[in-house]
């Protein structure tokens, strides 16, 4: 089976940096993705890591350590609009486009 | 370039009824995946369609079925609705062998 663990809630101050961790236990692993979802909205793709290391996209960075079955999403220069739920999702090694296995999500609240 | 579209946006049904949800993938994408997202949870994979065939399936009963058309659009059908089927149903599209999936706005289904 598969399981992903991430904190249920995180609160951070506007302008600060926040890190959302994700640990996983899966039978097979191909990569880790991160999605952002605002209330009432659809999940929006943020980043994808297939190899160990840091991937940076603007204010967002994502890190993966395959040996530790661990990854994190780093959000810098937090803005109020970053208040949303953030999901890590494991990509499993199957045929073609693999389905995503999502964690339960971390609700980020950015306060002034 | 239109993104992933879904219809309807909201739907109310009663127990025992049947429902059909529709999805048009992002231009250039040939693979459609369906997910169910209960309130406060991460999306759960239902099934995936490619070349008009169901290629992979998650842990959902046979009451959940689907179809993909030659233009790559897709339908999700749910028979004998249960109260527990109330959820946000998300469609995600991708191109073969690419890891990134793009989600539509979802259809919110309420079963009374």
Query: Across the 112 residues of chain A, what is the mean pLDDT of every consecutive 10-residue run?
Result: 89 97 86 93 92 93 94 97 96 67 94 95
The residues in A 70-99 lying below 8 A from B, measured between CB atoms, are 87, 89, 91, 94-99
pLDDT tier at B38, thresholds 50, 70, 90: very high
Q: What is the pLDDT of residue A99?
A: 74
Question: Which of B104, B112, B110, B108 has its CA nearest to residue B34?
Answer: B104
Q: What is the pLDDT of residue A28?
A: 75
- Interface touch A102/B48, C-beta < 8 Å: no
Structure tokens of B98? 């690419």
Q: What is the pLDDT of residue B70?
A: 96
Mean predicted confidence (pLDDT) in B30-46: 93
- Interface touch B45/A101, C-beta < 8 Å: yes
* Strand-pair partners of A100: A91
Mean predicted confidence (pLDDT) in B100-112: 94
Q: Which residues of A touch B94 (CB under 8 A)?
A: 97
Mean predicted confidence (pLDDT) in B92-98: 83
Q: Residues 6 or more apart from B21 whose CB is under 8 A from it?
A: B6, B7, B8, B11, B75, B76, B77, B78, B89, B91, B107, B109
Name the CA radius of gyration of chain A, rounded. Answer: 14
Q: What is the pLDDT of residue A97?
A: 55
pLDDT in tens, B76-93: 999 999 999 999 999 999
Q: What is the pLDDT of residue A26?
A: 80
| Start-to-end C-alpha separation, chain A | 41
Mean predicted confidence (pLDDT) in B4-32: 96
- Say how many CB pairs under 8 Å bridge A and B: 70
Question: Which of A5, A40, A17 has its CA nearest to residue A108?
Answer: A17
Q: What is the pLDDT of residue A75?
A: 97
Q: Residues 6 or more apart from B67 whose CB is under 8 A from it?
A: B49, B52, B74, B75, B77
Q: What is the pLDDT of residue A29?
A: 79
Q: Is A43:A36 a contact under the CB 8 Å cutoff?
A: yes
Question: Which of A51, A58, A94, A70 has its CA nearest to residue A4?
Answer: A70
């Amino acid at each position: 089976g598969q399981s992903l663990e991430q904190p249920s809630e995180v609160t951070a101050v506007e302008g600060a940096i926040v890190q959302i961790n994700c640990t996983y236990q899966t039978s097979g692993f191909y990569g880790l993705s991160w999605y952002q979802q605002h209330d009432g909205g659809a999940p929006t793709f943020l980043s994808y890591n297939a190899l160990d290391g840091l991937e940076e996209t603007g204010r967002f960075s994502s890190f993966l350590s395959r040996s530790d079955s661990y990854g994190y999403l780093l959000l810098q220069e937090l803005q109020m609009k970053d208040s949303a739920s953030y999901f890590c999702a494991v990509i499993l090694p199957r045929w073609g486009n693999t389905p995503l296995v999502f964690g339960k999500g971390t609700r980020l609240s950015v306060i002034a | 370039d239109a993104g992933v579209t879904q219809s309807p946006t909201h739907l109310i049904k009663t127990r025992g009824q049947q429902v059909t949800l529709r999805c048009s993938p992002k231009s250039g994408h040939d693979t459609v995946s369906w997910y169910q997202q209960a309130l406060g949870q991460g999306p759960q994979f239902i099934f995936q369609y490619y070349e008009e065939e169901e290629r992979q399936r998650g842990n959902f009963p046979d009451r959940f079925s689907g179809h993909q058309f030659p233009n790559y659009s897709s339908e999700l059908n749910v028979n004998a609705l249960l109260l527990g089927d109330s959820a946000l149903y998300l469609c995600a599209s991708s191109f073969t062998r690419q890891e990134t999936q793009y989600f539509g706005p979802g259809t919110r289904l309420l079963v009374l």
